[in-house]
């Protein structure tokens, strides 16, 4: 299968389910396949791998780029203005975040004339583990990205608040201004899942101008989202229709695997994988920020030598013996005179 622009696979991975969407440039409505595969035990590598393999088989599409939306429990994200910064200045900003807040994962995202750096608190080692399993399961060119970024691609430009309840005990909330302003995981409570709740009401984000510590950021985002979604929760309906490539996404019934509340996040990831959302970048991780020379394993640095004398005694023949051998050799080779 030859991949073209408009072809791509998007996944949403939680601890209990994998949801996937495959887009095709020549398919009516672009959605060629969807799937929803349960994960029996997320702590078991074999169980996760089995679910990913089954998702890969149901989606099809050999050799297509894959983007995976993932936002594990305890994750937070907050944007920092990086407009106009050069490469060295961006690296300086990354190292500053790592030194001041311990944030080692960042992602650049462009919106109109602005560039933002998303400061991401999550377990990047776990993200690499998931990426390795996905590649072993047959997915190609895999990129892991925050789930709020993926959902933002299918939200209208006027949406300011979104809450995602993906599965049991896996919920997050985010604030948007075209791109995510901030996001955090939240308690699921008794909310129905899967669901996506959106609101277009104005929000005040004055307290989010500076990078906040983890508890303060989570509390502020949760408060703003809860206040904005009061009316949406009362009507139990989406306050804003999901948009896929400038067209309203069809309102499939809730039991349909294509329902927006099921595949909304995976659809956003697929749009990114298909090259339909502009230039996208992967998450950058500073892996050596807190490593010291003493903490690096270097078994080759010092090696014990054998206890042997430096000078090796050799049994050489005496001078008379060597001279005699040379003389005999010369007399044998000398020409004879007649």
CB 171 within 8 A of CB 163: yes
- In the three-class reduction of DSSP (H, G, I as helix; E, B as strand; rest coil), residue 151 is classed as helix
User: What's the pLDDT score for residue 168?
Assistant: 84
Question: Which is higher by pLDDT, 309 or 238?
Answer: 309
Measured distance between the N- and C-terminal CA atoms of the chain, rounded to whole angstroms: 90
User: For 299-321, what is the mean pLDDT?
Assistant: 61
* Residue 102 CB contacts under 8 Å (≥ 6 apart), including other chains: 121
Tens digit of pLDDT for each residue in 141-185? 999 999 999 999 999 888 999 999 998 888 999 999 888 999 999
Q: How many whole angstroms separate alpha carbon 247 and alpha carbon 244?
A: 5
Question: Which is higher by pLDDT, 293 or 163?
Answer: 163
Distances 145 to 231, 316, 335 between C-alpha atoms, Å: 30, 72, 88
User: For 285-298, what is the mean pLDDT?
Assistant: 56
User: What's the pLDDT score for residue 239?
Assistant: 47
Q: How many whole angstroms separate alpha carbon 66 and alpha carbon 89?
A: 30
Q: Return the minimum-mean-pLDDT range out of 88-97, 241-250, 266-275, 284-293.
A: 284-293
Q: What is the average pLDDT value for the chain, to the nearest integer?
A: 84
> Locate tokens 């999901």: which residue?
242
Percent of the chain with pLDDT strictly greater than 70: 78
Strand partners, 180: 176
Distances 156 to 153, 182, 335 between C-alpha atoms, Å: 8, 17, 105
Q: What are phi and psi of 263, to 5 degrees?
A: -110, 10
Tell me the H-state helices in 114-229. Answer: 124-136, 147-152, 214-228
CB 276 within 8 A of CB 5: yes
Distances 205 to 79, 101, 216, 217, 223 between C-alpha atoms, Å: 12, 20, 13, 11, 11
Q: How many whole angstroms separate alpha carbon 239 and alpha carbon 107?
A: 29
User: What's the pLDDT score for residue 232?
Assistant: 66
Tens digit of pLDDT for each residue in 251-284? 889 899 999 999 999 999 999 999 998 888 889 9
Q: Return the minimum-mean-pLDDT range out of 8-12, 143-147, 185-189.
A: 185-189
Q: What are phi and psi of 10, to 5 degrees?
A: -125, 140
Instruction: pLDDT band for 306, please (50, 70, 90 cuts).
Output: low
User: What's the pLDDT score for residue 52?
Assistant: 97
For residue 295, pLDDT beyond 60: no
Q: Return the minimum-mean-pLDDT range out of 56-60, 141-145, 221-225, 330-334.
A: 330-334
Instruction: pLDDT band for 328, please (50, 70, 90 cuts).
Output: low
For residue 59, pLDDT beyond 90: yes
Torsion over CA: 204, 207, 209, 215 (sign):
negative
For residue 50, pLDDT beyond 60: yes
Q: Which domains does the chain have, with CATH numbers?
A: 8-281 (3.30.420.40)
Instruction: pLDDT band for 323, please (50, 70, 90 cuts).
Output: low
């Amino acid at each position: 299968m030859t991949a073209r622009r408009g072809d791509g696979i998007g996944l949403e991975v939680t601890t209990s389910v994998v949801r996937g969407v495959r887009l095709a440039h020549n398919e009516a409505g672009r959605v060629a396949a969807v799937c929803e595969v349960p994960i029996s035990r997320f702590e078991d590598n074999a169980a996760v791998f089995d679910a990913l393999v089954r998702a890969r088989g149901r989606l099809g599409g050999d050799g297509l780029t894959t983007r995976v939306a993932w936002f594990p429990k305890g994750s937070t994200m907050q944007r920092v203005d990086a407009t106009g910064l050069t490469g060295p200045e961006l690296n300086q900003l990354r190292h500053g975040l790592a030194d001041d807040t311990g944030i080692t994962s960042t992602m650049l995202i462009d919106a109109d004339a602005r560039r933002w750096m998303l400061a991401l608190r999550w377990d990047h080692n776990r993200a690499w583990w998931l990426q390795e399993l996905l590649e072993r399961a047959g997915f190609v060119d895999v990129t892991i990205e925050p789930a709020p970024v993926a959902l933002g691609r299918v939200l209208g430009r006027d949406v300011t608040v979104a809450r995602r309840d993906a599965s049991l005990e896996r919920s997050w909330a985010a604030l948007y201004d075209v791109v995510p302003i901030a996001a955090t995981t939240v308690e699921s409570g008794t909310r129905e899942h899967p669901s996506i709740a959106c609101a277009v009401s104005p929000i005040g984000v004055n307290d989010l101008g500076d990078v906040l510590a983890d508890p303060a950021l989570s509390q502020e985002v949760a408060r703003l989202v809860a206040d904005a979604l009061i009316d949406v929760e009362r009507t139990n309906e989406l306050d804003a229709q999901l948009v896929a490539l400038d067209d309203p996404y069809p309102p499939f019934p809730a039991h349909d695997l294509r329902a927006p509340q099921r595949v909304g996040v995976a659809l956003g990831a697929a749009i990114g994988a298909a090259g339909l959302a502009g230039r996208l970048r992967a998450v950058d991780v500073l892996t050596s920020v807190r490593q010291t020379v003493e903490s690096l394993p270097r078994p080759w640095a010092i090696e014990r030598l054998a206890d042997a004398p430096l000078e090796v005694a050799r049994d050489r023949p005496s001078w008379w013996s060597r001279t005699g051998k040379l003389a005999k050799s010369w007399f044998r080779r000398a020409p004879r005179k007649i």
